[in-house]
């Protein structure tokens, strides 16, 4: 697919697992805190516009597209969120097919648009473990993926009463840029198919360099 106005960005994040957030890093069984592991993950993202893949959307559908590669340069396995969780996706004025390209859309506190694949923290003890499909990357492994956000953009975020979603409740009409972000974390070694849970320790967003929003992305003529 040809991408209009594409921007390529390579971003590396270095995270100390067990540092930051509310999770206890634990100990080695003798009361000595476990040394944090350095998490080195690189995101190579190409941002542009285009159509979604697959038959789920009608012909002529277009939007923001991020084609990306995530590489695990750490010496520990990591989880990478694969898609927006379908079970907590809200209803909006258009259908939102559940595909591997499914993404959240919201604005950060600075007013920039974020297209993301992540699982949000909850506002309290909900009694439920919310999970997003994920891919496990062993040291040295990479994955490729694609994210799509239908234009004109709608804010697509889970229920604010249950989840902590950053930024304003509506997309800013004067937003001029957007980025793609994907959530990563050290693999906690849970059995079964890999998922990222709202309680997975040391979750972090890795984000691309910002690109300009195309004209009309927010529904106007800008």
> Would you state the pLDDT for residue 220?
64
Question: 70-116, pLDDT tens digit by residue?
Answer: 999 999 999 999 999 999 999 888 888 999 999 999 999 999 999 99
Q: Taking 80 as the threshold, does the pLDDT of residue 121 lie above it?
A: yes
CA distances from 154 to 47, 68, 132, 172, 208 (A): 18, 22, 21, 11, 20
**Average pLDDT over the chain, rounded to whole?**
86
> Would you state the pLDDT for residue 75?
93
Query: What gap in Å lies between CA 147 and CA 160, rounded to an integer?
Result: 23
> Would you state the pLDDT for residue 23?
42
Map out the domains of the chain as residue ranges. 8-24+37-212
How would you class 145 by CB atoms within 10 Å of its CB: exposed for 0-12, middle for 13-18, buried for 19 or more? buried
**Could you tell me what percent of the chain has a pLDDT over 70?**
82
- What is the pTM assigned to this prediction? 0.85
Query: What gap in Å lies between CA 40 and CA 73, rounded to an integer?
Result: 5
Question: 4-59, pLDDT tens digit by residue?
Answer: 344 455 555 544 333 333 344 444 455 555 554 568 999 999 999 999 998 888 88
Q: Residue range 133-155: average pLDDT? A: 97
């Amino acid at each position: 697919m040809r991408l209009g106005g594409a921007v390529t960005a390579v971003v590396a994040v270095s995270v100390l697992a067990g540092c930051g957030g509310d999770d206890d890093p634990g100990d080695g069984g003798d009361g000595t805190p476990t040394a944090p592991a350095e998490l080195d993950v690189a995101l190579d993202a190409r941002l542009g516009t285009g159509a979604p893949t697959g038959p789920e959307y009608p012909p002529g559908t277009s939007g923001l597209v991020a084609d990306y590669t995530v590489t695990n340069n750490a010496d520990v396995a990591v989880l990478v969120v694969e898609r927006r969780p379908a079970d907590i996706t809200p209803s909006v004025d258009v259908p939102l097919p559940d595909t591997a390209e499914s993404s959240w859309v919201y604005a950060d506190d600075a007013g920039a648009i974020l297209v993301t694949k992540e699982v949000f923290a909850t506002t309290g003890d909900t009694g439920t473990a919310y999970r997003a499909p994920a891919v496990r990357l062993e040291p040295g492994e990479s994955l490729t993926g694609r994210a799509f956000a239908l234009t004109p953009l709608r804010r697509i975020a889970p229920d604010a009463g249950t989840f902590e979603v950053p930024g304003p409740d509506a997309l800013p009409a004067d937003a001029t840029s957007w980025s793609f972000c994907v959530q990563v974390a050290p693999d906690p070694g849970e059995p079964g198919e890999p998922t990222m849970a709202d309680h997975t320790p040391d979750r972090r967003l890795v984000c691309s360099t910002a690109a300009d929003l195309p004209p009309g992305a927010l529904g106007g003529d800008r």
